[in-house]
Amino acid sequence: MSVTGLDLIFLEVNSIEESLAFYQGVLGFAVTKHTPESEPPMATVQAGALRITFAQHLETMLKRGRGVSLFLGVSDVDEYFRELSERGAELRAPLDEGWGGRFITVQDPDRYRLFFVQWNE
């Protein structure tokens, strides 16, 4: 047996609708499944081979997003920055930090940090 890769990211969120508005409307991911009537309400978005499933669980004492950062590869971080800016995302210009890639970062409605990275060769 061997691990073949990361197949799915599963995130608990406060609002399926807010998450879909951000991931589809701002980031440009495709919604592949949306079951608001299920218990809990769930939805899945996809970009390339990456799938993220959201399950709506109201926040209790736990603070969402703490300690969780997702690094997602993009082919052209500067172009993606322009696209996100046009869609109203609040983010800083791409940065090169010397750890292997040029990136931008945003936070989703539940404070999960997303890094979009154009990796150096």
* Structural domain harbouring 67: 9-119
* Segment 32-36 mean pLDDT: 95
Q: Is a pLDDT exceeding 90 seen at residue 85?
A: yes
Assess if residue 1 is contained within a domain.
no
Question: For the chain, what is the domain count?
Answer: 1
pTM: 0.81
For 15, 52, 78, the CA distances from 67, given in Å and listed in that order, are: 20, 18, 26
Burial of 91 (0-12, 13-18, 19+ CB in 10 A): middle
Assess if residue 109 is contained within a domain.
yes
Alpha-carbon gap, residue 37 to 34, rounded angstroms: 9
Alpha-carbon gap, residue 83 to 95, rounded angstroms: 16
Residue in the structure block whose two tokens are 């945003």:
106
* Segment 86-107 mean pLDDT: 90
Tokens of 80: 């993606």
Q: What is the pLDDT of residue 4?
A: 64
CATH number of the domain enclosing 84: 3.10.180.10
Phi, psi (degrees; rounded to nearest 5) at 18: -65, -40
Q: What is the pLDDT of residue 7?
A: 77
Alpha-carbon gap, residue 45 to 24, rounded angstroms: 8
Assess if residue 2 is contained within a domain.
no
* Segment 1-13 mean pLDDT: 76
Assess if residue 3 is contained within a domain.
no
